[in-house]
Structures are given as C-alpha cells and as structure tokens.
Amino acid sequence: PVRIKDLANIDGVRGNDLVGYGLVVGLNGSGDSLRNSPFTEEIMAGLLERLGVNVTDEAFRPKNVAAVIVTATLPPFARAGSQIDINVAAIGDAKSLLGGTLVMTPLNAADGEIYAVAQGSLVVGGLGAEGADGSKVVINTPTVGRIANGATVEREVPNSFSQGDTITFNLNRPDFTTARRLADVVNDLV
C-alpha cells in the first residue's frame, strides 16, 4: 500500500520561515570586537536603553557579546504557546558562541509580522583553540549554535485548511494517472 503523504502534500499546509536579529551574551571573551562590528554596539546600546540603562559607547566595550541572526521554521498548525527549535549564527567577528545565551529576539516572517520570540542558552557543535605560539585549531563551526525549543510561538499563521469542505492535494510528481488513482481512492473512502 502507498500512503497519500508519500505521493502528495496538502495545499496550504506548509512551514513558514522566520528570521530575527539579536545578541548572544555571556561569551568568554570570544564575542565581537565592537570597533569592527558597530552594529553589535548599536543593538546592545538600544537593548540596554530599553531596559533603562544608559551607557556611553566609550565606557562600555565588552568582549562577551556577539550580534547574531536567528532562524527558525514555524511548522504548519503551530499554536500560540508552542515551542520551536531555532538556529543562531554570528554575523560579526566573534570567534565562538560557546557558553552564550541568546537575549530575547523577535522572529519575523516574510510579511514583517512577529510570529515567535526566541531566547535561551546555545548548544554549539564546534570549538576553537589558540596556542601562545600562534597555533590555532578549529573543529566544526563554533560561531553557529542551536536552541531546542528555543522560541515560543506568539502568533498563529492563518490557513484555509480547516475552512470549507474540500482538500486540495498537490502531487509531488504530477501526472494524470496518479491524480486519477488518488481521486478514485479518496472518493471511495468518502
């Protein structure tokens, strides 16, 4: 027997890509150098200002912060309050995100609306080490991490799947024979 989901997908039922821009803090001196990554300094100053902290750019130049892009896929039928996995990647000159914590980051869809909010401690699958003699070793990519269940869905994507009395199947490999056979099987079940 062949399953319908092996032949087709349901029209309108798909994931939606999300993206956000945020900060990872708590790095052990491996963050962005703020002179080379001015956008990190800007977002950090904006964040601290929203939290009621006033800092001048000369007085505050930590090496434990990195600017990151956060990505996720909002699965079909995700409800407000659901948790989804996120990926985090440094965009400045940080050496590693190991040990870092993502600060609350809104995740937007292509329509510009916020659909989830991400935060939490990163799991990084790479590492780097430098010796006093200038030798260096990097395993995998220490500037990319993941947070399982790292974002909370704030808004549901409206879909027309649950409304109406028809379902449209999109064949993975469209042809008339498969379409006719699929229609016959579905109609026999109804």
Q: Which amino acid, 13?
A: V
Closest CA to 37 of 95, 113, 81: 95
- For the beta carbon of residue 71, count every other beta carbon within 10 angstroms: 15
Query: For residue 156, what pLDDT is reported?
Result: 86
Give CA–CA dist 13/161, Å, rounded. Answer: 7
Model pLDDT, residue 54? 76
DSSP letter at 161 equals T
**Residue 18: predicted pLDDT:** 97
Non-local (6+) Cβ contacts of 80 within 8 A are: 153, 154, 155, 156
Is the pTM above the cut of 0.85?
A: no
Please report the pLDDT score of residue 86 as a whole number: 98
In this prediction, residue 154 carries a pLDDT of 96
CA–CA separation, 19 and 22 (whole Å): 10
Q: Which residues of the chain, if any, have pLDDT below 70?
A: 36, 56-61, 160-162
**What is the pLDDT, as a whole number, of residue 61?**
66
Read off the pLDDT of residues 74-97 as tens digits, 9 standing for 90 and up.
998 899 999 999 999 999 899 999
Spatial separation of the C-alpha atoms in residues 7 and 175, rounded to whole Å: 11
- On whether the CB atoms of residues 122 and 114 are closer than 8 A, the answer is no
